[in-house]
């Protein structure tokens, strides 16, 4: 079986973000399975793509899977697209991809735009660990319950939100996460009225209330993670090492700290090296300023 299901990312606003590979794939396949054929036809016309479209969305995915899998088994390549961005990321397509995998059909990603990653890359919040949470429940009571489950998570959290719910959602976030929690607000990414700001949740509530335009368009919220609780044992070790390093070498200070605290010498030595490096960096920063 040589046919493939291509999962093709499309622009989230600026059409120049369409990749050359994505255009070629959409031109070469037998059919394009689209979330909304009316939306996708505009994109195809722009790039002179005449490949036939068929609908594949939340309401009909179960019904069209067998038909699409049948075509793939007959050797026809198919491309899957959503209205904008990467399919399956809060968009339809998961059931089709899973079915293709179960039938031994090769699934090939064609990477491109994704609003969640674009927002994360530009708002200035930690990106080493993050969790994509998609859309929160529409009802406030359910939304608050979901936020309560997430309030102690230390990784960055990424949400999509609808314009008509953005103010209520941000208010709920401020209530649960705390008004001072940092938030990245990314609206209409790559479009004419692109807005990317970083502030506190309280400040974002105020901004949205003052400026009704902030309740329009596609919105991504990037929430800073909860502050990690201070490890008291680690704090005591740091205090002990900091004092010992004022008079002793790293080796001697870490040996004495290990004897006094009961931690392993290897751990004390590694932490002593880190504290020494931090002290040297602080001195360098002060000298540069």
> What CATH topology corresponds to 116-223?
3.30.950
Say whether pLDDT at 289 is over 70: no
pLDDT tens for 49-80 read 999 999 999 899 889 999 999 999 999 999 99
Mean pLDDT (the chain) is 94
**Strand-pair partners of 106:** 4
Q: Which of 112, 99, 111, 108 is nearest to 3 (CA)?
A: 108
Residue 1 — pLDDT band, cuts 50, 70, 90? low
pLDDT band at 175 (very low <50, low <70, confident <90, very high): very high
| Domain at 4-113, CATH class | alpha beta
Residue 165 has pLDDT above 70, yes or no: yes
User: What is the arithmetic mean of pLDDT over 14-26?
Assistant: 97
Task: Answer for the pair 196, 124: CB distance below 8 angstroms, yes or no.
Answer: no
């Amino acid at each position: 079986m040589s046919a493939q299901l291509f999962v093709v990312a499309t622009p989230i606003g600026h059409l120049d973000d369409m990749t050359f590979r994505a255009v070629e794939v959409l031109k070469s396949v037998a059919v394009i399975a689209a979330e909304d054929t009316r939306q996708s036809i505009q994109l195809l016309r722009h790039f002179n793509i005449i490949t036939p479209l068929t609908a594949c969305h939340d309401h009909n995915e179960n019904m069209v899977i067998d038909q699409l899998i049948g075509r793939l088994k007959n050797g026809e390549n198919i491309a899957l697209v959503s209205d904008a961005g990467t399919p399956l990321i809060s968009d339809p397509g998961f059931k089709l991809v899973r079915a293709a995998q179960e039938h031994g059909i090769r699934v090939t990603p064609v990477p491109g735009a994704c609003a969640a990653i674009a927002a994360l890359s530009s708002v200035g919040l930690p990106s080493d660990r993050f969790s994509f949470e998609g859309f929160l429940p529409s009802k406030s009571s359910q939304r608050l319950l979901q936020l309560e489950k997430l309030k102690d998570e230390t990784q960055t959290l990424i949400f999509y939100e609808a314009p008509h719910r953005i103010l209520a959602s941000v208010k709920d976030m401020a209530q649960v996460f705390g008004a001072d929690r940092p938030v990245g607000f990314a609206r209409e990414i790559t479009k004419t009225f692109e807005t990317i700001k970083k502030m506190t949740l309280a400040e974002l509530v105020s901004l949205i209330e003052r400026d009704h335009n902030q309740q329009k368009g596609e919105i991504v919220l990037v929430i800073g993670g909860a502050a990690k609780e201070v490890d008291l044992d680690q704090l005591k070790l740091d205090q002990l090492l900091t004092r010992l390093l004022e008079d002793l070498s790293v080796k001697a200070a870490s040996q004495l700290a290990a004897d006094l605290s009961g931690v392993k010498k290897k751990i004390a030595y590694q932490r002593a090296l880190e504290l020494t490096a931090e002290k040297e960096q602080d001195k360098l920063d002060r000298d540069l300023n």
